[in-house]
């Protein structure tokens, strides 16, 4: 097996919009800064632009990691509905959105894109709490905020 000399980097717009929580074996986990709904973003370590272009083992791993995050949103955070998307119109790097939804949330039943008010930041203790729970319940590995692979 040969090791790549290139480092994987997360698109700057994703880093500007999100808190970096850690990583799973196949992808990095981010949390959107708008705290009005729990909006997680998985960024697979790949140069492919579309989810269906991933090699089957990586695609399967990303889907399993998505399922872990979805179970966290429903089980730990109590949101009954998960919006799942890999759109990538504004940010070309492959990334997967998992958003907890429920009737009565700030933009229900509309999509969050273009309908979510831009007011609501996470307190640092909530980010630490969720990161610890994701580590305990889902096997999330910690990484420093500036760490790239």
Report domain extents, the chain: 12-138
Residue 44 host element (H or E): strand 39-44
User: What integer pLDDT is reported at residue 77 of this predicted model?
Assistant: 98
User: Residue 147 — pLDDT band, cuts 50, 70, 90?
Assistant: very low
Q: Report the chain's mean pLDDT, rounded to a whole number.
A: 92
User: pLDDT at residue 128 above 50?
Assistant: yes
Is residue 116 within 8 Å of 107, Cβ to Cβ?
Answer: yes
User: What integer pLDDT is reported at residue 148 of this predicted model?
Assistant: 45
User: What integer pLDDT is reported at residue 6 of this predicted model?
Assistant: 64
In the chain, which ranges are continuous DSSP H helix?
A: 12-17, 56-71, 124-138
User: pLDDT at residue 145 above 80?
Assistant: no
Q: Domain 12-138's class?
A: alpha beta
């Amino acid at each position: 097996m040969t090791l790549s000399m290139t480092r994987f980097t997360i698109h700057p717009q994703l880093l500007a919009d999100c808190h970096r929580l850690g990583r799973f074996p196949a992808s990095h986990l981010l949390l959107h800064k708008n705290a009005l709904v729990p909006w997680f973003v998985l960024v697979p370590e790949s140069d492919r632009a579309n989810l269906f272009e991933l090699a089957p083992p990586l695609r399967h791993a990303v889907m399993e990691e998505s399922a872990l995050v979805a179970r966290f949103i429903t089980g730990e955070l109590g949101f009954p509905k998960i919006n799942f998307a890999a759109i990538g119109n504004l940010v070309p790097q492959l990334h997967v959105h998992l958003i907890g939804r429920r009737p009565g949330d700030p933009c229900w039943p509309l999509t969050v894109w273009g309908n979510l008010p831009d007011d609501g930041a996470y307190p640092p203790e909530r980010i630490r709490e969720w990161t610890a729970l994701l580590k305990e319940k889902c096997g999330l590995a910690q990484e420093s905020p500036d760490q790239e692979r």
